[in-house]
Chain A
Amino acid sequence: MKNVFKVFFAMVLSALALPAAAALNVFACEPEWAALAGELGGDKVSVYAATTALQDAHHIEARPSLIARARSADLLICSGSELEIGWVPLLLTQAGNNRIQPGSPGYLEASQLVERIEIPKVVDRSLGDIHPAGNPHVHTDPRNIARVAEVLAQRLAQLDPADAEVFRSRAESFKARWQAAIVRWEKDGARLKGVPVVVFHKDMSYFIRWMGMSEVGSLEPKPGIPPTPAHLAELVEQMKRAPAKVIVYSPYNDAKAAQFLSERTGIPVAMMPFTVGGTARAKDLFGLFDDTIERLLAAVK
């Protein structure tokens, strides 16, 4: 038995001697933050997106592959506000990486940097899977992305001072292009003001507020609870009295419920890209909002 333990220690010591990677390793919980880190870091960062647009960030398991990536990350950026509560805490305790623990420069919760909406007054599980800190899907408002970009660029520079100048100039370039794009989107999307919309899950709330649309219902009876026949029947009745102009859902949602409501009410249905990679056109952050607005305009015309 003693020999086995000796071999074990030898393995651990030899592994410690492995060289560290050169570029800054960024672990992004969601594709939008991976895209943002790519915009700001360029080739000075190596970005890993833990989830894709086809996955629901609420329901991810702390898979071995994620622990392995968190192990070598220099910076972890997530939406936060308990969106990833089922898996990120495990990555943090399992990975043995003190660089990305809460409170260190390598830990960044995007939703903590912006004003959150839909903070529940009453917190009770009978109300569904609600987030006591407010709606975590902050990236659907591009103005929030601008705010997160500022802090993320600072963090990158703090973690890799040698490339601080690169991060600063890339951040400035991004900011200029982003502000111009926001002006364009607000102009293009002006027609969406006041448009009533039914959502699948409350994951587009920041976008809806930014565009001045109004959310009149959700396919989920309660946040996180899959659509039920009874609730859909209620929605059909509600739409007869006060019809919405469009029903939206995200790529990770089951499209059946949205199509059911559309068939019963004649209201058009539109899949939103929701995040980078959600549709072919949403291949970066700019494409994400271009495509979102275009799809909505096409649906409500």
Chain B
Amino acid sequence: MHRKTLCAMALAVAWSAPLSVRAQDAELTKIRDEIRQMKEAYEKRIEALEKRLQETEAKAGKAADSAEQAQSTAVAASQAAVQASSRPSAENAMNPGISAILNGVYSNLKQDPNTYRINGFVPTMGEVGPGKRGLSLGESELGFSANIDHLFRGNLIASISPDDSSIDIEEGYIQTLALSNGFTVKAGRFFSAVGYQNQVHAHAWDFTDAPLAMKAFLGNQLNDDGIQVKWVAPTDLYFDVGMELGRGRAFPATSGGGNKNGFGSGSLFTHLGGDIGSSLAWQAGLSYLATSPQNRTYADLDSTGTPVTDSFSGDSRLWVMDGVLKWSPNGNPTTNNFKLQGEYFRRNENGTLAYDTQAASLGTQTGSYRSRQSGWYLQGVYQFAPMWRVGYRYDRLDAGTTGIGLVNTGALTAADFPILGGYNPTRNTWMVDWSPSEFSRIRLQFARDYSRMGLTDNQIFLQYIVSMGAHGAHQF
């Protein structure tokens, strides 16, 4: 229809044109040609337009078809999803409680953390330093726990270090459920009941790092492979006694554990605890750890400035006294609460000390070794408003007396054992933290650390700790 109108218009224009007679024929031929060309051109364009229209319509149809198909696929998929979710949920019903702990820290350290040492004390060769400078991801913890059957409960806590991608088993143990008369037995790897804070997971600590005494005497935190037997008395006043026998895989025993049958470490512990009225709860403990390290090595710089490896063999005896007092008005800690915690460590080591076992400097020599050392800390944490807490901790170590046979006989000098030189490290720590829920915490901590002889380390930590998944229950 459009085409006809165009042609009619063109013809009307052509025929009505005023023309001279002689020019008429030539002109007329020319005009007819032009009109024919126009007609042809229009026809072509119109054809092209029609073609495009048809194509577009076809495409639209296809699109609608495919939309419909997509919809039906989605319906099928969601049906499949419903079926799928109903199947594994039955399987998942018996899955253990899974939890993950994430933590990250920003550290501002005046001294190079790679030079960290606790002067006056045998290096534990463990992770006792203040960590890396700047922003870093802390160790992530992955925990699984469940009742295995009516007799046992299982617990596995793995810590994943972010940089060397290694996975450490922090705890992996089974625990009895069905024993009676107050007995429980644990077997596997677990945090030792020696002291108080050693049993508490790092994410539940009130400060970013461990007390100096734990670093010096327990290599930060002691988790041996072994067996623990504990008995709780049938009295209203809480009283327990327990014993642990272990391989002795870490400080203060030999690193890696001695290659021998039987046990490499043994400990005994006892606790008393109770309430005073409804606002105060307390616990006091005494524990003893005995190990016999064989070739327990550590690194030092001797008087010539050469890095040497020294090693201790003999007996190590550690006594720990601990106490905790918690206050909250009427036993309701929601708004305000206060926690006072302290531990006193005392260690005697007796045996032989071998100097330069690799013969890297003045040659290997062996003499007697005897040390009596102690350390303690006291800390208080106060929740002054819901979600907000402040805390202060004082750390002090006493290097006591150390008798090195090789120095006493004059074979070597005290300068060959600089790290064992008498020094009393101290540290003051302040912190404030904010816990918007039970599952997250943000903490700012400042410490003035005198672990290194003659050097002050100002340490600032800004840290977050969050837990996901199963609701963990924390020990008192």
Contact = CB atoms under 8 A, between A and B. Distances in A.
Contacts, number: 145
Nearest to B283: A64
Contacts of A65: 236, 238, 273-275, 281
B183 interface: yes
B261 interface: no
A98 B230 CA distance: 15
A284 interface: no
A96 B183 contact: yes
B201 interface: no
Interface string A8-28: 100110011010100000000
A32 interface: no
Contacts of B183: 96
B439 interface: yes
A94 B175 CA distance: 10
A16 B181 contact: yes
A94 B179 CA distance: 11
A103 B153 CA distance: 14
A68 B235 CA distance: 6
A62 B333 contact: no
A70 to B, nearest CB: 9
A97 B438 contact: no
B266 A125 contact: no
Nearest to B439: A125
A61 B476 contact: yes
B278 interface: yes
B180 A62 contact: no
A135 to B, nearest CB: 17
A87 B180 contact: no
Contact of B473 (A4, A20, A89): A89
Interface in B419-469: 436-439, 468
A101 B153 CA distance: 12
Contacts of A96: 176, 179-184, 230-232
Contacts of A90: 473-475
Contacts of B237: 68
Interface in B387-406: 387
Contacts of A202: none
Nearest to A92: B177
Interface string B228-262: 00111111111101010000000000000000000
B277 to A, nearest CB: 11
A251 to B, nearest CB: 9
A254 B231 contact: no
B30 interface: no
Find the residue from A54, A87, A94, A128 having the highest chain B CB count within 10 A: A94
B476 A63 contact: yes
Contacts of B142: none
B326 interface: yes
Given A5-B268, A52-B330, A64-B274, A94 B232 contact: yes
B439 A98 contact: no
A123 B147 CA distance: 23
Interface residues of B, number: 57
Contact of B273 (A15, A63, A98, A102): A63
A63 B281 contact: yes
B275 A252 contact: no
Interface residues of A, number: 52
A52 B12 CA distance: 106
A101 B437 contact: no
B471 A82 contact: yes
A68 B272 CA distance: 10
A69 to B, nearest CB: 7
A11 B333 contact: no
A12 B183 CA distance: 10
B271 interface: yes
Interface string A178-202: 0000000000000000000000000
Interface string A99-113: 101110000000000
B331 interface: yes
B418 interface: no
B22 to A, nearest CB: 95
A156 B130 CA distance: 56
B334 A254 contact: yes
Contacts of B239: 68
A65 B476 CA distance: 10
Find the residue from B231, B281, B290, B476 having the highest chain A CB count within 10 A: B476
Contact of B268 (A8, A15, A52, A252): A8
B150 interface: yes
A218 to B, nearest CB: 16
Given A5-B268, A71-B234, A54 B332 contact: yes
B178 interface: yes
B288 interface: yes
Interface in B325-371: 326, 330-335
A52 B278 contact: yes
A226 interface: yes
A8 B473 contact: no
A138 to B, nearest CB: 20
Contact of B180 (A92, A99, A226): A99
A76 to B, nearest CB: 14
Contacts of B473: 62, 85-87, 89-90
B307 interface: no
B234 A252 contact: no
A59 interface: yes
B386 interface: yes
B182 A5 contact: no
Interface in A52-80: 52, 54-56, 59-65, 67-69, 71-72
A5 B332 contact: no
Contact of A69 (B236, B281, B330, B475): B236
Given A15-B231, A62-B476, A65-B273, A98 B178 contact: yes
Contacts of B272: 64
Q: 5 nearest interchain CB pairs?
A: A64-B273, A64-B238, A68-B238, A96-B182, A54-B330
